[in-house]
Structure 1
Amino acid sequence: MERVANSGPLQTLSDAELELGREPFTRDPQPKPVKAWVRFGETPVLVDAEACVWTSNAVGIRFTVAGKQLKTWVWASAVRTKHPAPSD
């Protein structure tokens, strides 16, 4: 993952895409675990993340690479609920 993170800058949605001035958003005091597709430069990668804030179209996530916490906005369709591992 660290190699991919060094392949280019972490991409995020633009202010125009987010429309935060017009689009209501929810901020969760207890972020939810998710899997999300992000891009470093042109390289897509699926990461374990937390959904911290969202609109009807986008999700603000945070995740860690090499001990560094990163934050970005992705389209809602790029995010999936992370289900806990089944217990035996």
Structure 2
Amino acid sequence: MGTNKRYAAAVDHQMDTRILERIAAEAGPLQSLSSAELRLDMEPVTIDPRPKPAKAWVRFGATPALVDAEVCRWTADACAIRFRVGETEMKAWVWASAVTPASPGGR
């Protein structure tokens, strides 16, 4: 039996969404960088009025997950991102090296 190439991307996206929802529910709380790591009192912060799409690695407890996110703010070392898990908007600071700009075509 073959695969349905016409809907493959939609099915993949749906599975990714279900996996992320399960990780978020079971693996532990979303981890964010601490104040000591961010040093926001010493580092300049750029606030983007038009957040940029990106892929970002986040952690729920000790479990890593790659998410579709928007970069809202950044310093030289870290990025503030927001992303959705189901109907819930999540926000976290992650290391800049954990973020990759989204490709123009989406995924």
Could you say whether these structures have the same fold, taking a TM-score greater than 0.5 normalized by the shorter chain as the test? yes
Indicate the structure with greater strand content: 1
The alpha carbon displacement at 1:26 in A equals 0.1
Q: List runs of 5+ in structure 2 lacking aligned partners.
A: 1-19
Q: Which residue does the alignment assign to 1:69?
A: 89
- Shift in Å, 1:66: 1.1
With normalisation by structure 1, the TM-score equals 0.95
Aligned length: 86
Structure 2 residue 102 is the aligned partner of structure 1 residue 82: yes
Residue 2 (structure 1) aligns with: 21
2:79 aligned partner, one-letter code: V
Q: 1 CA distance for matches of 2:38 and 2:62?
A: 20
Q: Which amino acid aligns with 1:74?
A: V
State how 1:1-88 maps to structure 2 within 5 Å. 1-6=20-25, 7-85=27-105
Stretches of structure 1 lacking an aligned partner (at least 5 in a row): none
Q: Which has the higher Rg, Structure 1 or Structure 2? A: 2
CA RMSD, aligned part only?
Answer: 1.0
CA distance in 1, matches of 2:29, 2:76: 26
Q: Which has the higher contact order (CA 8 A, sep 6+)?
A: 1
Structure 2-normalised TM-score?
A: 0.79
| Counterpart amino acid of residue 23 in structure 2 | V
**How many Å separate the matches in 2 of 1:76 and 1:2?**
24
- Answer 1 or 2: which has greater helix percent: 2
What is the DSSP-based 3-state SS (H/G/I as helix, E as strand, rest coil) of the residue aligned with 2:49? strand
